[in-house]
Structure 1
Amino acid sequence: MLKFSANLSILFTELPFVKRFAAAKNAGFDAVECWFPYEDASAAEVRALLDEHQLKMIGINTPWGGSGQWGLAALPSYEAAFEKSVRDTLAFAQAVGNPAIHVMAGLAGDVPALDARRCYHRNLERALRWAEGSGSMLVIEPLNGRDRPGYFLHSVDQAADIIERQGLGDLRIMFDCYHIQVEEGDVITRMRRHFDKIGHVQIAGVPVRGEPDKGELNYVEVLRELNNLGWQGYVGAEYKPTGTSAESLGWLADLRRLGIAA
């Protein structure tokens, strides 16, 4: 059966950040993830909250950068800022239990495609060297062009190609079913094709990123297949609840009744 984590950057936001850990635990989660936790609390504070509520932190992001960037990895002439962002995130991750780190690519729509690609590959190679021995897995996440126009990494096939052709075998894909359905569709086939390269899975309803049991994507079938493939990691709940977060969890209760969720 599958295990689920709550993304505290998008769930339980009716509460202050430091109160969301208790809310997630009370809602039945034993793991959390967060986009930029270092913007809201120190590593020591986050570690204390995780310990207090017996939670695992399984994923965080590198900083989003400045206005119009949304990451730095594919942006030439930001190499020094990129290095600092990765090293700082690695240090934070080590202090809170070595979660996976999403290395954000950036909005590169105004950058010549070849320059962005070369910069991205070079920076990913550097990031993997810095992360060696840290205990944190590095992941890259394709974002759909409707929500993030100009984002360099926009498809799961592109992500897999980068890992294969550039010899970045320690890198993994953040398989966000919402982004993949919006940008490419055929979620189950892509999941099967790239299963050996997936480092984390996230879910949200399509097309409005609401609860997973709303919209066009049948998560009962998607998650049943993920379970059948032998997924051992967590599935991140990264959606915008239409009411309070606690009231939005009927989908999780349904999956438990069906024997898909633990």
Structure 2
Amino acid sequence: MFSLANKTVIITGAGSGIGQAIAILFAKQGAHVEVFDLQQESAQETVDQIKAAGGSGNATACDVGDYAAVKALFDAVAAKHGKIDILVNNAGIAHIGTVLTTTEEDMDRLHRVNIKGVHACAQAALAHMVMRKNGVILNMCSIAAQLGLADRFAYSMTKGAVLMMTYSIAKDFIKDGIRCNCIAPARVHTPFVDGYLAKTYPGREAEMFQKLSEAQPIGRMAKPDEIASLALYLCSDEASFATGTNYTLDGGAVNLR
């Protein structure tokens, strides 16, 4: 079950964290994985892990907010492999702040990556998927799209947009044999979390890590591999009846608070 053999997959923001976990798992399941990340070195690190495990992958530096560059890169993948089967729109950036502390520059930066980046990549992938009447798009959303989280004004706004883009894509292209879903995780233990704690709470990292963990009803943060497992299901043929849905993976954060 859950084989991705002979599938060509593009995963954005796959140089670390959730994206890296998804890339490694998809390659293990037989996919050829195009690892896109803003940093070429990070993308290559993921591909090195994929190849060390016997998988197939390629590393590419990509700024998802650059429409022309995105189109050129997606077209190149399609030309080389003959198709794009799966897109995982994982690239995204976080921001902490209220409506009063969020600057115009903050808004522009979040909008460019978290909204325009999803649009640009989906647009570039769909151009090829529609021709083949087949394809899967998976967007990385967040429980921030569903809940009022403190100090997450701009981030929540962008994830709300991702949720609605997911529904729109699913609706508009269902007759073309294309499925689109999103995953809404709660807090996931990624390098971003470690960096945030080191910067914000120097010397108190362990204490604050415990507090952040206990904020989830289940008592811990998610692991990137757990998000990757759900992503694998949603992008596999076993999920052929699943489209237009937001899959919350949150340790009870939404319903058990």
Instruction: State the TM bucket, normalised to the shorter chain.
Output: 0.3 to 0.5
Structure with more of its chain in helix, by fraction: 2
TM-score by length of 1: 0.38
